[in-house]
Amino acid sequence: MPPPLAPIVLFDIDGTVLTFDGPPPGPGRTSLERAMMDLHAFDRATDGIRVAGGTDRGLARAMLRRAAADESDASIERVIACYLGHLETILLTERYRPIGDVALAVRMLEERSAVVGLATGNVRHGARLKLASAGLAASFAIERGGYGCDAEPRAEILRKAVERCTSAANAGAPIVVVGDTERDVEAGRAIGARVVGVARDDEARRELARAGADAIVDACGEALVRQIMG
């Protein structure tokens, strides 16, 4: 009889495993807006756009639409490339921080045979930069993930993450998604996953509860592991 499949646990990044404590708008949003200023002389490009739970390609497309600019794949790629350049520069002096004890949570999950991956709207290099900034580069295997460069819809990003985790290890169902917005819950439901929310305030907790998250915790750590593994 073959051994049982290990569960797959997929973590979102922004608002789930890391946050920024400095003044708004933060490194990610600032980098997006600087990219649009550089390429299209368009200021405050993210005004009116919900960044939380978005994907880099989707956000680039929305900003280009606001600027009445070309939305082709080539234009989106130029925005993302410029954004990454700004992000790398900003993160030389500004840092994200983990939300709770992320490294402990990942280690505990792996000790219980879970296969831990990433499922984020960030493009792969952006995810790498942000995790390194928060001291979390060693906690996640970057090859086991789905990213904003793989697709725009979050459900497709999750499916790509599952595919990569499955090919990297003897893994499969159950699948657990860890995220901080209703978009994470909706995408998790679309692939038949259980969803555990991370809520840093009452507003986020209410959003996750309305969306139907299976469980909600305040931060990554032992409480999160208990909700995932029982």
Return the CATH number of 6-20+96-229, one of 3.40.50.1000, 3.40.50.1480, 3.30.360.10, 2.40.40.20.
3.40.50.1000
* pTM attached to this predicted model: 0.95
Alpha helices in the chain (DSSP H): 27-40, 56-66, 73-90, 102-111, 124-133, 154-168, 182-190, 202-211, 222-229
Q: What is the mean pLDDT of residues 3-22?
A: 92
Domain residue ranges of the chain, discontinuous segments joined by +? 6-20+96-229, 27-90
Higher per-residue pLDDT: 171 or 97: 97
For 89-142, write each residue's pLDDT tens digit.
999 999 999 999 999 999 999 999 999 999 999 999 999 999 999 999 999 999
Question: For residue 16, which amino acid is it?
Answer: T
